Each structure stands twice: as structure tokens, then as C-alpha cells.
Structure 1
Amino acid sequence: MPDDSASDTKGQIPTNLRLLLILEEVSRAGVPVSPAALSEALGLPKPTIHRLLTTAEEQEFLQRDIDGRSYGPGRRLRRLAGNTLSSQRLRTERLLIMQALAREVGETCNLAAPGRFGMVYLDRVETLWPLRIQLPVGTQVPFHCTASGKMYLSSLRTDKLNRFLSWMDLKPVTKRTISDKDVLVEELGSTRARGYATDDEEFMDDMVAVAVPLRDSEGRLLTTLSMHAPRQRHDLASLSKMIPQLREAADRLETLGLN
């Protein structure tokens, strides 16, 4: 049996760092990663990689992809990422940016990240209007009928998007929900082209929303910034006029996240 202490082709990696580097590589890749790819990237023996992957899977830091061989972030790693994003210093600065945006546009603003079964609200700044829509931090909303969810889906590679949609339940939530796969794919293409997503009463009657992406240093969608309003104050066309303000705030949040 190969010795885990054998020399690494990319230098000696201390034993207590190996699992952390595997988690870092899986997170960096942005797609499920095979043991062979991890072995090549890190210069660690394959038996070592398999042993560490087994531990990470048992502890729910990683989970197997649909192919049964590759690995992606598990429940605990996703929660770790969310907690890191919500660390006190970053959250204070983030909320200041979101509060300024909410004052400027006069509507509720949300920061959301993709979870396993929907978009999860990480932060939220409420409008001062008494008429508002209550969706507190921690709320999980569907991918297919929300602005934030459609923004995320539009960022996926075609093969991954097709897999997603093959098992996703596109059940109607309102009479305006897009529940046809082909129509949704067309809508996601439009979303990708214009750089922002919309929700025209697709998730909740009498509510409209728009969302833009926040990307990491490699251009991958990390979270979304959105705003929503009751139709009594805005229709989709008037809310969409505030996209420039939304994008400006997203740019500031991206810079904050990269520092």
C-alpha cells in the first residue's frame, strides 16, 4: 500500500493541510472534481486522495456528484461558506452598501446564494414603506420562478443546466410561473444576454423583482443582489429602470468580497 508520507510531486504538503487543500480545490473548480484531477492538481497519491475524500464525504463537507465519482461541496462546506460571508466585519460593510441602495431605490434589497434546493437569503434590507413582502433571512425560494434563482440558473453551463432541469420540479407557483422547460431555457438565455434576471409575478402574486449577479475573482456567480416590490408601486418595467443602481451596488459588494 502506498505510504501517505511519500514525497508529493508538488512539494511536501503537511498532513494537517491536505484535507483543507482538497476542499479549497473543489471550491475553486466550481464543478464536480474527480479524485484523479485532485491527485494531479495537488500532487498527492491517489490512495491519500481517496481516503481524505471518504472522510470529507462522511462528515458532509463534500458530496458525490450524480456521476457517482466526482465530488462537489457538501452541506457543511456550503454552510461554512455562508457563515464566512456573514462574518461580522464583512456583514456590517455589506449591510451599509445594501442600506444605501434600499434608500436610493425605495424598495427591499436581498442578497441570496444558491443552496441545494433553492436560493437562500443571506441578508436583507427592508423598504420603509408599510406595504412590504416578508421574506426573512434564511428563507429558501425556488430556482425557476424567482429573479435570483433564474440569475443563478442562467450562469450554469449547458450540460449542468440540462441535468438540473431534468430533475427539477417546475411546478407553477402562480399563474405566471414558467413551468415549461423549453420556455424556461429560452428565458434563461435572455437573462444571460442582458445580464440581469426578472420575476414578473412568477413567484408571488402582485410582486415583481429583478436580480443581478455578484461574481468571484474567476468570474463565477457567487451570490445575487435583488430587489422586489409590490405591483401597487412598480410594474416590471419601472423596477427594471433601477438596474443601474443595482449593478453599481453589486460592483461595490464584489470589491468588498474580494478584499
Structure 2
Amino acid sequence: MATLPPVNLSQLKAFPPAGRRAAWPAAWDRTGFRVRLGLVLALLLGLLPVVPGFYHFIQARPGHRLFDPLLALLPVHDVSAPTFAIIYGAIAGTLVYLLPRPNLLLRALWAYYFLQVLRMATLWLLPLEPPTTLVVLHDPVMDHIFKVTTQPIVRDLFFSGHTATMALLALAGRGRGWRLLLGLLTGAVGLLVLVQRVHYSYDVLAAPLFAWLAYWLAGRVCRKKPAAPASSGL
């Protein structure tokens, strides 16, 4: 009797299941999915003309400087390069994971929108001055958006958007290993922005809580309605 060649399980795992290939057509067939996706994309696009002016307003407004004993325990360095290498690498990896999963992607988009709104609200409510030993953080993307030249945005403090974004990426993914990795990277980014002195420790510690709140709100928006029970005809 001829023997069959051994099956390479790693090769099988490399191919997505048929259900995943059909995920987008199935999601697109639902009116609720299309409406929620179109609405969140419109809301995110609507933020684009508002955000630069808002952050320039935050930068022009004086605030209060906080006492933070934790910062005195950390060195001061310019760590812009590793900070954004981690952030943009994590964003790219999470997008690759989410794109074949439309329902998770939809929730992540709504969570990101809510996170931006929450952060703008806390920045408006809590005007703060940055730590005295601040080293300007150079973001290759945001510097271009805000046209930062001689006056960078440094008063956008509570809460840390960089740390919150990383925490949101950890929530958006699935799998213990993936979430553990992103959780560790979130901690690394939180530490790096403290070393750079662009945030107080309070900003960093609060960030995951706001990320969780944004993700929870997104879950409420994206929750599927239970199917109506079939009529018995009686």
C-alpha cells in the first residue's frame, strides 16, 4: 500500500480558512455593517480639518505644571526614533491582522474615533504645562500634519495619546500571544515618553483606561442585534 506524504501543519496554517475569505462579502451584505462603516469613516474624515486648529489652540493656552516624583527617577533622553518605530510598526502589524476581519476592524475604527474625542475632551478640560526637562518628540507623521516648525505641540498632555493608541491596538487584536506582545510594547512606549519628558506619569497611567473605555464604547456601537425569533404562524 502506498504511503501518503506527511502533512506539514505549518503550511496548512499559512492559508486562511475559507470562512475568512468570505468574511468581507458576508459583512458587506449586512446593512448595519455598511452604515456603521460609512459613518465612522465620515466621522474620522470630519476630524481632519478640526484637529490641527484644536491642537494649536491647546498649545497657545497656558496651563499648570504638575509635581511628578516618578520623573525624577528616570533619565532624560531623546528617544523619538525607537518610540515611533514601535508605534508605527505595531499599527502596521495590527492593520495586517484586522483587514481580513471586518467586524474587528469596524470596532477598532470606532474605538479610535472615540479615543480621539475623549482625548480632545480631556485636553480641553485640563490645561497643563509640560515637564521642565521636556525634550521635543519628533513624530514624522504628525509633524507634517501640524506643520510644526518653531513651535511644536507640547501641551497635549492628559492623557498620553501614544500610550493609549498602543493599548487600543492590544485590545483590537485577538490571541494571548499577540496581546501579550502589544501589552509589553505599550509599556515600553509609556516608559519612552516619560524618558523624553513629553508626558507626566499620570498621563501614561491613565491612557490604558481611556483606551479601554473607547473600545468598550465601540463595542456598544458595533454590537449586532439579536436575530428576531421565527414566527410560528399561529
TM-score by length of 2: 0.30
- Structure whose residues are more often helix by fraction: 2
TM-score by length of 1: 0.28
Higher RCO structure, 1 or 2 (CA under 8 Å, sep 6+): 2
